[in-house]
Amino acid sequence: MSVSDRLDVRKTYKLYIGGAFPRSESGRTYEAFDAKGTFLANVARASRKDARDAVSAARKAFAGWSGATPYNRGQVLYRVAEMLEGRREQFIAEVMAGEGLRRSGAGDVVDRAIDRWVWYAGWADKIAQVHGSANAVAGPYFDFSLPEPTGIVATIAPQESSLFGLVSVLAPVIVTGNTAVVVTSYSRPLPAMTLAEVLATSDVPGGVVNVLTGDSTEVGPWLASHMDVNGIDLAGVSDPDLATALEEAAADNLKRVLRPGLPAWDVADPGIHRMTPFLETKTVWHPIGV
């Protein structure tokens, strides 16, 4: 470096819990490298207690987020897409570094991620129209079924696709009113933290999305066994034994479980299959009479 060069002001990477950016309570970090093995940043390594804090933040946010009108949720999520677009260059740089893509490839990934977010934002006020029903029961009753969010969903984000994969598993969880605790890609965590900054500066209430960087084999079991977590998405778990163990732990309070790889998120039209597993259907009966 020559004397006249300006030195970068580097960013400290932290967790995103309850709308704030704390360091890991454990004080631990790990090194993230780019695809060529060059040091990128020291990243917070989330602990069991960070996971616990994230779950309680998600629980606190659930009433407000699930109680917001779908129109409002749609507006808020679309706002996120606007902010994502504003950070497009930063995301491209991070995806290039982390995933080893060329600029055009990274640009394509970022565009797909933004478009995917927009696609899900549009579902906020439509999922009930597609997945709800008026039921023609044989009797003098008005009977209808409506989807409602299941609660807190823990998500182990895809490990390879650090932005598009993350968006593809996170957006369908929160658009319907769930709150989320996400464990990011371990080796490529930077786009997730930039996404957290986007969320923090859009209108998404704190606690709706909580982002933990770190080792999903360490944090995952605590989330899977947590009795106040209602669903778990194992998208980013590559070890089949771990996936089985997490699914077994999730059975303790009958969490809704998405197994690794299914339903596919890396497709052009993901359908509604990543939303419906984390929806409860509520059926209401009401008599019809004078």
Q: Does 146 bind another protein (CB under 8 A)?
A: no
Among residue numbers 165 through 224, which ones bind another protein (CB under 8 A)? none
Q: For the window 232-261, what string marks contact with another protein as x by the rule CB under 8 A?
A: ------------------------------
Write down the least CB distance from residue 72 to another protein, Å: 11
Looking at the DSSP assignment, which residues form a beta bridge with residue 283? Answer: 145
What amino acid is encoded at 118 in this protein? V
- Backbone φ and ψ of 152, nearest 5°: -100, 130
Asked whether position 130 contacts another protein by CB under 8 A, the answer is: yes
Binder among 16, 65, 123, 265 for another protein (CB under 8 A): 123
Which of 42-50, 89-97, 121-129, 273-281 is the region at the interface with another protein (rule: CB under 8 A)?
121-129
Q: Specify whether the CB–CB gap between 6 and 174 falls below 8 A.
A: no
User: What is residue 242's DSSP assignment?
Assistant: H
CA distance 166 to 188: 11
User: Using CB under 8 A, which of 129, 201, 253, 281 touches another protein?
Assistant: 129
- Which of 11, 103, 282, 286 is the binder for another protein (CB under 8 A)? 286
Burial class (CB in 10 A: 0-12, 13-18, 19+), 55: buried
Give the one residue of 26, 42, 119, 202 binding another protein; rule: CB under 8 A.
119
For the beta carbon of residue 127, count every other beta carbon within 10 angstroms: 22
Closest to another protein by CB, 118 or 257: 118
Identify which of 91, 116, 163 has the alpha carbon closest to the alpha carbon of residue 274: 116
Check binding of 122 to another protein (CB under 8 A). Answer: yes
Q: What angle do CA 49, 40, 38 make, to 5 degrees?
A: 130
289 binds another protein (CB under 8 A): yes
Q: Which amino acid, residue 213?
A: T
Question: Is residue 181 a contact partner of residue 154, using CB atoms and an 8 Å limit?
Answer: yes
Residue 202 C-beta: closest distance to another protein, Å? 14
Q: Which of 230, 149, 223, 162 is nearest to 196 (CA)?
A: 162
The one among 108, 115, 148, 218 contacting another protein by CB under 8 A:
115
Task: Quote the CA–CA distance of 135 and 142 in Å, as a whole number.
Answer: 8
Say whether residue 282 binds another protein (CB under 8 A). Answer: no
- For the segment 55-84, give every residue that binds another protein (CB under 8 A): 70-71, 74-75, 78
The two tokens of residue 90 are 């930063």
Closest approach of another protein to the CB of residue 141, in Å:
9
For another protein, the binding residues (CB under 8 A) are 70-71, 74-75, 78, 115, 118-119, 121-126, 129-130, 142, 269, 272, 286-290
